[in-house]
Amino acid sequence: MDVIIVDDEPGARRTLRECCAREADLRVIGEFGDSARALEAIRAQPPHLLFLDIQIDSRTGLQLARQLDPHTLPLIVFVTAYDNYALEAFEVSAVDYLLKPFDDDRFRRTLARVRQRREAESAADRHQVLEQLLAQVERNARATTEARPRILAESGSRMHMLDAAQVEVAEADRNYVKLIVGREAYLTRSTLQLAERALQSQSTLRISRSCVVNMNHVREVSRTPRGDFILVMTGGTTVTSSEGYREAVRDYLTRLKLG
């Protein structure tokens, strides 16, 4: 199967490329970090299998998928690090996806389903499933937007309304709480306990006395020599768990493992 990889993170592309290289029937014919070049390449030489990141650039992976030719639609495995409403839609639509970070075993299980689908589905079948998925994602996104909690915080001399789902990290900072959104930091005069309550609609985890993390935004996980967890967030912020919260982080991550 000819494979194209589309992901804006070089590390994620490398991981997928290395996983594919270990499979005798896969041949990577292209990898792209931006949606425009990816769409052009897919249209010029449609692959059999497409690994497609949900969040690429100005165009999401779902929007890119919608622009593909239905008659040459490849098998698609969506790749994501969060997007709860999208994951729910994948389950409902029986679409294959990989949740970052994934291991070799998870990749192989996904690939086994892909091989079965290749034998059983036509391009028309795949297009119908994709349309069902897109409709489900849009319904879930609307429901999320209608019920989204918001937080008022300041940056410089201005006040900002932040969606709780956008907040990656909340850190105690004396009489304030610092909220990290991407590469930006905002302050709100509050306690970490109140901030944690305001973020309760999200999958949050306290990793130290002074830090709460929105686990939907965790991109990478590693360990320090002493065993604490280092979490790299979507926007690039790095936070480290403390010894007293090490077990809680380990338990949470263990629940995410398959098998």
- Is residue 89's pLDDT more than 90? no
CA 108/CA 201 separation, integer angstroms: 33
pLDDT confidence of 86, banded at 50, 70, 90? low
Q: What pLDDT does 218 receive?
A: 94
Strand partners, 211: 171, 208
Average pLDDT value for residue range 64-75: 88
pLDDT of residue 35: 87
Average pLDDT, the chain: 86
Query: What average pLDDT score do residues 15-31 get?
Result: 95
| Pairing verdict, β 150-155 and 218-223 | unpaired
**pTM, full prediction:** 0.55
Alpha-helical runs (H) found in the chain: 10-21, 35-44, 61-66, 84-93, 104-120, 123-146, 192-198, 246-256
Averaged over 10-37, what is the pLDDT?
93
